[in-house]
Amino acid sequence: AQSVSQHNHHVILSEAASLELGCNYSYGGTVNLFWYVQYPGQHLQLLLKYFSGDPLVKGIKGFEAEFIKSKFSFNLRKPSVQWSDTAEYFCAVMDSNYQLIWGAGTKLIIKP
């Protein structure tokens, strides 16, 4: 069965630190990949998505993610985080039935 693994359940950083959140998936076919973010008290929002083409994908709010096919990875990055990036981040993969398979989420806390 396909699965998505997010390596860290909790990450705590100081403002201006660089961020990388890991996401690995186990699915051998053509993949569509997503990162969603859920700010405290708000609904899930799409951060960025990868369907095909350039494996380096840029999203909203300065986030980017790199699809590395050989590593089955789609890590999320931001060069300098802000306090307002405190949120929970979810990685998801779309399977051949067009369903999303979700990671468990990573809670990111940015210390001011």
- Summarize as ranges the residues that interact with other proteins (CB under 8 A): 4, 9, 32, 34, 36, 42-46, 49, 51, 90, 92, 94, 98-100, 102-105
Rounded Cα distance, 39 and 51, in Å: 25
Please report where in the chains the tokens 């039935």 appear, as a residue: 97
Asked if 56 contacts 64 with a C-beta cutoff of 8 angstroms, the reply is: yes
CB 67 to other proteins: min, Å: 15
CB 85 to other proteins: min, Å: 19
CB 90 to other proteins: min, Å: 6
Of the candidates 30, 23, 27, the one whose C-alpha atom is nearest the C-alpha of residue 90 is 23
**Cβ nearer to other proteins, comparing 21 with 92:** 92
Structure tokens at 4: 């998505």
